Amino acid sequence: MKFKGKVALVTGGSRGIGAAIVQHLARGGADVAFTYAASDQAADRIVRELRLDGRRVLSIKADSRDPAAVRSAVDHVANQFGRLDILVNSAGIFYAGPVENVSLQEIDDTLAIHVRAVFVASQAALAHMGTGGSIISIGSCFAQRVPYGGVTLYAMSKSALIGFTKGLAREVGERGITVNIIDPGSTDTDMNPADGPTVEAELELMAIRRYAERSEIAAAVGFLASAESRFITGSSLAIDGGFTA
Ligand code: NDP
């Protein structure tokens, strides 16, 4: 039970990669809270399943576009569970299309969820975190390599996490808190289904030509949240089947 006694918060934990992270941390013994924006039923299902396993699990409807909601979700978790050890910033959206077609709303939403909410959640979490704490953000392989057009906004938002992570790692290293990024490649979720229209184009760019399982991303988050990785900070770990190789 490598996370026994730890408390984790995962943003965007109702579906996809975030849900797999919630499950991984809870099965490792952590008490886990997660936020989501709209999927009430999916969130309830996860809470029910994990509570049957004997875990303390909390779902919080908190839209990452609203910084006050993000901040109060973090404080609520620390108050309910008495501490906060692990923050995983996973909530995300994906708008694709040429730059000319991107609306101001899409720019605002993407930056609010992928950048501002990560900053605000981390800021709030640090008020509760002590030695051994971990902040892990889910970036994207597009932060390192953008081999085609149509993903400019998304790539811009995810590459901002690199500066954030390096800067914050410097600020909290002496407090025994690590800050890292996981950069997934194509991973089978609602956002990017393994039978979607862009599959062939994505596989062509990879050394290992298949989609990642959500559990493969969650396992790496588990490693970065564990005691074995305490000397890793300010890093980005690509889990992309060689997309950025
Ligand atoms: P999904 O669309 O499957 O799930 C997205 C999750 O984020 C859901 O839980 C959703 O909640 C939540 N979310 C979305 N918008 C908000 C919001 N405004 N406030 C709070 N929560 C929100 O996506 P993935 O699991 O594929 O993506 C997870 C992360 O991984 C994202 O950051 C994404 O950019 C990144 N990623 C994904 C890749 C892939 O190939 N799948 C590749 C590289 C990176 P709700 O259910 O309520 O909508």
Question: Does 245 map to a domain?
Answer: no
Residue 143 lies in a domain: yes
CATH of the domain at 15: 3.40.50.720
Kindly list the distances between the CA atom of residue 62 and the CA atoms of 17, 84, 116, 142, in Å, as whole numbers in the listed order.
18, 18, 14, 26
What tokens were used for 149? 């057009």
In a domain, 128, yes or no: yes
Q: Is position 1 within any domain?
A: no
**Distance of CA 174 from the midpoint of ligand 1 (Å):** 32
- Please work out whether the CB of residue 116 comes within 6 Å of at least one atom of ligand 1: no
Distance of CA 134 to the CA centre of its chain: 12
Ligand 1 centroid, distance to 91 Cα (angstroms): 5
pLDDT at 221: 98
- The total number of structural domains in the chain stands at 1
At 15, give phi and psi (nearest 5°).
-145, 170
The pTM of this model reads: 0.98
pLDDT score recorded for residue 117: 99
- pLDDT, position 52: 86
Q: Which of 64, 90, 114, 202 to mutate to test the pocket of ligand 1 (most atoms within 8 A of CB)?
A: 90
User: How far is 83 from 121, CA to CA, in rounded Å?
Assistant: 15
Residue 51 domain boundaries: 7-239
Q: Is 244 within the bounds of a domain?
A: no
**In angstroms, what CA-CA distances link 137 with 17, 34, 92, 111?**
12, 14, 11, 14
Is 131 within the bounds of a domain? yes
Cβ of 133 closer than 6 Å to ligand 1, yes or no, is: no
Mean pLDDT in runs of 10 for the chain (245 residues)?
96 98 97 98 97 92 98 98 98 97 98 99 98 98 97 98 98 98 98 94 96 98 98 98 98
What pLDDT does residue 3 have?
97
Residue 2 lies in a domain: no
- 140 close to ligand 1 (CB < 6 Angstrom): yes
pLDDT at 53: 82
